[in-house]
């Protein structure tokens, strides 16, 4: 029977988009422009919106769904997801080969497949009749956590398997094991962007990948540059005989398979391949921490079996972290936008792991003391799991009599102000808000993508504008339109560039209140905290007049954030800048919700325990959307306590204060009540 013409068009678009996804994310070959690709997606979205009965879970438009509604569900692996035993030298590999041969019928030939050990996060993908249905983490090897919505955002994962030999692959259900990772260049770009927006930096690509797949909002995951290499296919009715065939089949089915794998006729050949792979290690665009050696025959794998945690037919060979010796010439101190003054090691340039290293972070003065690092020392630097180089130790046997013990500065290296070290912290701070380095850092944060998103106002231009005294504060940005001719005269700034910049500044005035609040750069107030605070306090004036206790009562807002906000607004200089920003037209008031939707207006809620239907954040958002407030602690002013499973002391306090307690069913009814 002929397909419905609209459905036929939809299917054709889906296949075309997935082909371009495969070409771009797996083969690294872009066959069409970004604009052409976007037009295809928009056309598909339009057709699906007009014909919702044809939307399927494997459509490219369905990669990113809504927030996850609860914490991750447990997922029992059909096949145990074991980890690998590690080896560190050739002798241990030869011993592994001996154990394999002893366990197999005498005289059997043993082949091995050698692959890179990608430094990422293991994942299990389940396909039913060729369609992607579930993803789960390793967990304890028997039970992992289901992260389907997040993994679905990774565009190198096929949502529908490709046909093999003109036939759909005839396994009813298959499980594909893979490693989720981030490319080094993508990781560094992401960290640069996080630095500009004042967000915490990830230590390395693996940590970034692990953190990303456990986020509760797939829309955020979709913005992370995640990729995957598939390395194993499992099925109850296996139709191939070797691991080498397994990898080739995965490629045919549309998976991204690391091309650096080799079939070896003996353990000695495998060892030579491992050495050759290590030579390429630092030219790779992704992190690896070794090689994996697997018995090629699946029949032999079955005979060898596994022990409690790892298979007997595979082993990992761990490469040593690359280290180098170099001289530490000087310890300098740099100032960040929050005023934190941190030490940096200025090194004799040395080639390490494919790049020339001349600086390394020392984090704080306590680390300098702990490692006894002195100026003039020969130090060991490493670029192992971390992309950022670090000093591992001092070569004490090479220490010179002229080495100098470092001391922390007493005054700011940039502006000369006296430094301050808060009680209980290792960092020291310059408290002069007029410090030039702080000014530049604050302005970069204010203009960044996650804040006011002023395109064209980047680090270099901000540096020039501050040095020329054209801007000093956030408010000065909105006065630049009065200095158009001065801007045009700047190096690399023409009339068109200046007009584009001024247009971007004007456009930034449309950013909502929570983005403006985040842009102010109040210490500890990240984008998430800013959104929660803006949802509870409808204007900047209300927040300025709020007590520390009322700020801290906001769900997920702790004492450090509340005291930081109070300190910020107690500075008359900051209040003056806010007033100037108001006059410039920035939004310091939350958008009003329609009165008809505010069923919970002036009602205060406290959430406790685990809800089966909602995450804490989602339940909080539903309350706020209806005009209510969510606070962290129970008081006599609390109207409702929503109690899920394993509710603790908050439930007991609510009972003591006679606060109305709602179970999840009652909470649902309250939300739906007309």
> What is the per-residue DSSP string for 629-662?
EEESS--TT--EEEE-BT--HHHHHHHHTT-EEE
pLDDT of residue 242: 94
Domain stops at, among 374, 409, 444? 409
More confident residue, 635 or 386: 635
Span of 198-202, 243-247, 557-561 with lowest mean pLDDT: 198-202
Over residues 71-99, the mean pLDDT reads 87
For the residues 460-487, what does the mean pLDDT come to? 92
**Chain centre distance of CA 268:** 40
Which residue, 336, 399, 342, is CA-closest to 373? 399
pLDDT band at 411 (very low <50, low <70, confident <90, very high): very high
For residue 410, pLDDT over 70 is answered with yes
505 with 647, same domain: the answer is no
Same domain for 247 and 396, yes or no, is no
How confident is the model over 147-174, as a mean pLDDT? 80
Among the candidates 545, 563, 584, a domain finishes at: 584
Asked whether residue 392 falls in the same domain as residue 365, the answer is: yes
Q: CB under 8 Å, gap of 24 or more: what pairs does 56-60 form?
A: 57/131, 57/132, 57/133, 57/159, 58/14, 58/131, 58/132, 58/159, 58/160, 59/10, 59/14, 59/159, 60/14, 60/17, 60/18, 60/21, 60/159
pLDDT over 90 for what percent of the chain? Answer: 40
pLDDT of 665 strictly over 90: no
Residues whose CB falls within 8 Å of the CB of residue 27, separated by 6 or more in sequence, listed in order:
none
Higher pLDDT, 142 or 658: 658
Label residue 168 by pLDDT band (50, 70, 90): very low
Whether residue 415 lies inside any domain: the answer is no
Average pLDDT, whole number, for the chain? 85
- Number of folded domains that form the chain: 6
Check pLDDT > 70 for residue 132. Answer: yes
pLDDT score at 228: 96
Structural domain that includes position 340: 323-409
The residue that leads in pLDDT, 269 or 78, is 269
Q: Are residues 147 and 84 in the same domain?
A: yes
Residue-wise pLDDT for 356-377, tens only, equals 888 888 888 888 999 999 999 9
Same domain, 499 and 521: no
What secondary structure, in 3-state letters, does 563-583 show?
A: HHHHHHHCCHHHHHHHHHHHH
Model pLDDT, residue 596: 56
What CATH number has the domain bearing residue 21?
1.10.287.610
Verify that 472 and 518 share a domain, yes or no: no
Instruction: State whether 503 and 528 are in the same domain.
Output: no
Catalytic residue among 9, 117, 280, 390: 117
Q: What is the pLDDT of residue 196?
A: 73
Q: Lowest mean pLDDT: which of 171-175, 237-241, 522-526?
A: 237-241
What percent of the chain is helix, strand and coil (3-state, nearest 5)?
A: 40, 20, 40
* pLDDT tens-digit map of 313-328: 999 998 877 788 999 9
Model confidence at 102, pLDDT cuts 50, 70, 90, reads: very high
Least confident of 377-381, 442-446, 600-604, 609-613: 609-613
The phi and psi torsions of 671 (rounded to 5 degrees) equal -65, -35
120 and 217 within one domain: yes
- Residue 180: CB atoms within 10 A of its CB come to 26
What's the pLDDT at 599? 80
pLDDT digits (tens, 9 = 90+) for 492-527: 788 888 999 999 999 999 999 999 999 999 988 888
Per-residue pLDDT, 125: 95
Whether residue 473 lies inside any domain: the answer is yes
**What is the reported pLDDT for 197?**
66
For the domain that residue 505 is a member of, what is the CATH number?
A: 1.10.150.20
Please report the pLDDT score of residue 16 as a whole number: 82
Q: What is the CATH number of the domain that holds 623?
A: 3.40.50.10190
331, 336, 340, 345: CA torsion to nearest 10: -20
Catalytic, 275? Answer no
Pick left, alpha or beta for residue 229 (phi over 0 → left; psi -120 to 50 → alpha; otherwise beta): beta
Same domain membership, residue 561 and residue 627: no
Q: What is the pLDDT of residue 577?
A: 94
* Arithmetic mean of pLDDT, 17-23: 75
For residue 511, give both structure tokens. 């950013």
274, 317 contact by CB (below 8 A): yes
Is residue 428 situated within a structural domain?
no
Q: Are residues 288 and 378 in the same domain?
A: no
Per-residue pLDDT at 357: 85
In a domain, 292, yes or no: yes
CATH of the domain at 149: 3.30.470.30
Q: What is the pLDDT of residue 651?
A: 87
Per residue in 291-316, pLDDT tens? Answer: 999 999 999 999 999 876 789 999 99
Stretch 398-418: mean pLDDT: 90
The answer to whether residue 556 is domain-embedded is yes
Supply the pLDDT for residue 177: 95
* Mean pLDDT comparison of 50-64, 151-165, 508-522, 602-616, highest-scoring range: 508-522
**Position 421 in a domain:** no
Predicted pLDDT of residue 630: 84
Among 394, 409, 424, the domain-final residue is: 409
Asked whether residue 227 carries a pLDDT value surpassing 60, the answer given is yes
Strands 112-118 and 261-264: antiparallel
Decide if pLDDT at 385 tops 80. Answer: no
CATH number of domain containing 387 = 2.40.50.140
List residues bridging with 262 in a β-sheet.
114
Model confidence pLDDT, tens digit, residues 556-588 = 687 888 999 999 999 898 999 999 999 999 999
Q: Is residue 17 within 8 Å of residue 48, measured between CB atoms?
A: no
Mean pLDDT of the region 638-659: 86
Structural domain contains residue 519? yes
Among 96, 123, 111, CA closest to 317: 96
Q: Which residue has the higher pLDDT, 293 or 24?
A: 293
- What band does 354 get if pLDDT is binned at 50, 70 and 90? low
Provide the residue count of the chain: 674
Residue 177 within any structural domain of the chain = yes
Claim to verify: residue 141 and residue 166 sit in the same structural domain = yes
532 band by pLDDT with thresholds 50, 70 and 90: confident
**Contact predicate 236/249, CB 8 Å:** no
**Residues 137 and 274 both lie in one domain:** yes
Q: What is the pLDDT of residue 29?
A: 57
No. of H helices and E strands in the chain?
25, 24
């Amino acid at each position: 029977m002929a397909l419905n013409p609209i459905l036929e068009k939809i299917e054709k678009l889906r296949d075309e988009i997935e082909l371009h996804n495969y070409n771009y994310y797996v083969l690294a070959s872009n066959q069409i422009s970004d604009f052409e690709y976007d037009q295809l997606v928009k056309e598909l979205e339009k057709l699906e919106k007009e014909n919702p009965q044809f939307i399927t879970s494997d459509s490219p438009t369905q990669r990113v769904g809504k927030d996850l509604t609860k914490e991750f569900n447990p997922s029992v692996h059909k096949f145990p997801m074991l980890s690998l035993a590690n080896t560190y030298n050739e002798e241990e590999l030869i011993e592994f080969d001996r154990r394999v041969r002893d366990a197999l019928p005498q005289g059997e030939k043993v082949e091995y497949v050698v692959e890179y050990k990608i430094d990422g996060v293991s994942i299990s993908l389940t396909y039913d009749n060729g369609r992607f249905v579930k993803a789960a983490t390793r967990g304890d090897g028997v039970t992992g956590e289901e992260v389907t919505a997040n993994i679905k955002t990774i565009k190198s994962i096929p949502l529908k398997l490709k046909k093999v030999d003109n036939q759909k692959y005839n396994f009813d259900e298959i499980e594909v094991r893979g490693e989720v990772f981030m490319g080094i260049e993508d990781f560094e770009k992401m960290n640069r962007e996080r630095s500009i927006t004042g967000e915490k930096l990830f230590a390395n690509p693996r940590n970034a990948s692990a953190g990303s797949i456990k986020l509760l909002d797939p829309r955020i995951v979709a913005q992370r540059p995640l990729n995957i290499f598939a390395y194993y296919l499992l099925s109850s009715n296996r139709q191939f005989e070797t691991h080498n065939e397994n990898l080739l089949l995965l490629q045919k089915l549309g998976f991204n398979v690391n091309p650096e794998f080799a079939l070896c006729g003996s353990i000695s050949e495998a060892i030579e391949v491992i050495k050759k792979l290590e030579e390429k290690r630092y030219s790779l665009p992704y992190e690896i921490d070794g090689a994996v050696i697997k018995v090629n025959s699946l029949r032999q794998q079955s005979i060898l079996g596994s022990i409690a945690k790892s298979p007997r037919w595979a082993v990992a060979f761990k490469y040593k972290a690359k280290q180098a010796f170099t001289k530490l010439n000087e310890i300098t101190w740099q100032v960040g936008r929050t005023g934190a003054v941190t030490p940096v090691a200025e090194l004799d340039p040395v080639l390490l792991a494919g790049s020339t290293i001349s600086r390394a972070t020392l984090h704080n003065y306590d680390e300098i003391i702990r490692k006894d690092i002195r100026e003039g020392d020969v130090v060991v630097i490493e670029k192992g799991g971390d992309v950022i180089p670090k000093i591992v130790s001092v070569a004490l046997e090479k220490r010179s009599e002229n080495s100098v013990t470092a001391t922390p500065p007493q005054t700011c290296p940039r502006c000369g102000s006296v430094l301050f070290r808060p009680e209980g912290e290792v960092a020291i701070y310059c408290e002069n808000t007029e410090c030039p380095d702080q000014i530049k850092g604050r302005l970069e944060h204010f203009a960044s993508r996650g804040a006011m998103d002023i395109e064209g106002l980047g680090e270099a231009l901000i540096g020039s504008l501050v040095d020329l005294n054209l801007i000093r504060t956030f408010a000065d940005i909105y006065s630049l339109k009065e200095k158009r001719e001065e801007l045009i005269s700047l190096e690399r700034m023409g009339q068109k560039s200046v007009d584009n910049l001024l247009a971007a500044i004007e456009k930034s005035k449309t950013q909502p209140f929570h983005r403006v609040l985040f842009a102010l750069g109040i210490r500890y107030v990240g984008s998430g905290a800013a959104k929660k605070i803006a949802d509870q306090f409808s204007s900047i004036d209300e927040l300025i007049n709020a007590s520390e206790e009322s700020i801290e009562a906001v769900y997920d807002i702790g004492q450090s954030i509340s005291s930081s906000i109070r300190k910020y607004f107690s500075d008359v200089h900051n209040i003056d800048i806010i007033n100037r920003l108001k006059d410039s037209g920035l939004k310091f008031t939350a958008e009003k919700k329609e009165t008809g939707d505010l069923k919970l207006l002036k009602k205060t809620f406290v959430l406790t325990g685990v809800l089966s239907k909602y995450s804490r954040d989602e339940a909080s958002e539903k309350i706020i959307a209806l005009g209510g407030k969510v606070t962290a602690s129970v008081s006599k002013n609390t109207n409702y306590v929503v109690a899920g499973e394993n509710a603790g002391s908050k439930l007991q306090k609510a009972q003591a204060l006679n606060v109305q307690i709602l179970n999840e069913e009652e909470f649902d009814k309250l939300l739906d009540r007309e």
